[in-house]
Amino acid sequence: MENSAQFPDCMKCGEGVLIPLSDYGRDGASIRYKAWVCSNPECGYNIRIDNGEISFGRALSQSFK
């Protein structure tokens, strides 16, 4: 995949790039770059911030909220 937007390469698979994702907090405030996810679907690497704690490598799943 071409890294035209200059996203960082995924260090786990070396094939994808890490794409930033944003979310909304409890009070509706925007949270920029809450998570970064590898663009390679077979890789699934991710790093995220939850309540001030950094977690990585958790299994990805669809949210039905």
- pLDDT value of position 52: 80
Give, for 33, the enclosing helix (H) or strand (E). strand 30-38
Q: Considering the domain boundaries, does residue 21 fall inside one?
A: yes
Predicted confidence at residue 19, as pLDDT, reads 94
pLDDT tops 70 at residue 2: no
Would you state the pLDDT for residue 4? 52
Exposed, middle or buried by CB within 10 Å (0-12, 13-18, 19+), for 65? exposed
In a domain, 53, yes or no: yes
6-63 pLDDT per residue, tens = 899 999 999 999 999 988 877 888 888 889 999 998 998 999 888 788 888 766 666 6
For the chain, the domain total comes to: 1
Can you give the residue range of the structural domain that contains 35? Answer: 1-58
Is residue 26 a part of any domain in this protein?
A: yes
